[in-house]
Amino acid sequence: LTLPAEALVTTLAAPRRGMAALAAAGDTGALASTLLDTRPYTAPDWAEALQAPNERVELGRLPTPIHKWPVPLLEDLGVQWWIKRDDLTGFELGGNKVRKLEFLLAEAKAGGYDCVVTIGGIQSNHCRATAAAARMLGLPSYLILRTSEPDKDPGLVGNLLFDRMLGAEIRTVTPEEYGRVGSARLGEMLVEELRGAGLKPYLIPVGGSNSLGTWGYLEGVRELQTQMPAVQGLTDGRFDHVTFACGSGGTAAGIGLGMHLSGLGQRGTKVHAVGVCDSPSYFYKFVDDEILPGIGHSLPCSESWLRVIQGRGRGYAVSTPEELDIIKRVCETTGVLLDPVYSGKALYKFCETAKGSPEEFAGKSILFWHTGGGFGMYDKA
């Protein structure tokens, strides 16, 4: 199967071995159908007025833990650090993607779809997590991956190794074509092709970030609410600041809106999403135009309950020595692995922002919501 020639998309042969080979042969279908059944979903009380989904597939090892984090950063400001470990959601180390996929794949399963299509960068954590979760549900995956060398086999590195082990069919597209055609249209083109071949594909956007996927982090805020009473040392039982990496917008929309609707924002908790690939204005517009309309009516604009910090640095997946130094120091002192594309960039830029506004952050409690992404480290080796 190929996309139209003008899309400049090529196919990489994906070796089928082990579980992937069995799944491709249909030998795991019966097993997979019993492992991950859908469950009825009831929204939090504070989200009852929204357009909530009815079902959820329980993929993650939830709730993820919160613990004090003795990270050697912002010590001059006397801050207290905690970390919420969404790098431990399970499911092949799927990170924050797992929460979104619980709702997206529930819809795919309920709708009788027989395969999944999604798109991302060549080392996309989302694509790898999607391929793993979909395979467990008995659904093959078709991945469109962005790379500057579409005619060169990038080999078995990082997330790409797992994509291939999972038996995903991989297409590649250049950054230029990705920008000209757009991720949404590239996904739709492949869906049209697969429909023509007699399949019923379910299309998941970049990062799983749409209105439905955002429910993963609305639910995540409810989880956080239930955990906070057991966290010692918080002022008024809340965190002063919550920060995390923002790559496609869905996690930021879910956490920010959830904090607002639950009342935590009104009680003083500020939400900081560090954008690692696009501008703050892009993310505000994306959340307001693409996510909020599908969640509920008359919601306030995202800029009123979410702060997006520009953290792109030298570029998406391009690291500075200072960013890599923070990753090394954090791992050496706390045992927590950050990745260079998302969490490492986010922590570095948040700290730089705090240093520039000491009056806002001095003596405050900060929760770093770790979004995972560790496999991307292998691409830097």
Q: 283, 352 in Cβ contact below 8 A?
A: no
* Selected catalytic residue, list 33, 124, 248, 298: 124
112 exposed, middle or buried (CB, 10 Å; 0-12, 13-18, 19+)? exposed
Closest among 176, 198, 201 to 187, alpha carbons compared: 201
- The residues near 186 (Cβ < 8 Å, ≥ 6 apart) are 3, 7, 9, 119, 144, 173, 177, 178
Residue position matching structure tokens 């798109």:
119
Identify any residues that bridge with 39 across adjacent strands, giving them in sequence order. 56
Active site (annotated) includes residue 304: no
Q: 90, 98 in Cβ contact below 8 A?
A: yes
Residue position matching structure tokens 């249909």:
26
Q: How many CA atoms lie within 13 A of 165 on its CB side?
A: 13
> 241: left (phi > 0), else alpha (psi -120 to 50), else beta?
beta
With DSSP H G I counted as helix, E B as strand and the rest as coil, what are the percentages for the chain, rounded to 5? 45, 15, 40
CA dist 321 and 319 (Å) reads: 7
How do 169-173 and 10-12 pair as beta strands?
A: antiparallel
Catalytic residues: 124
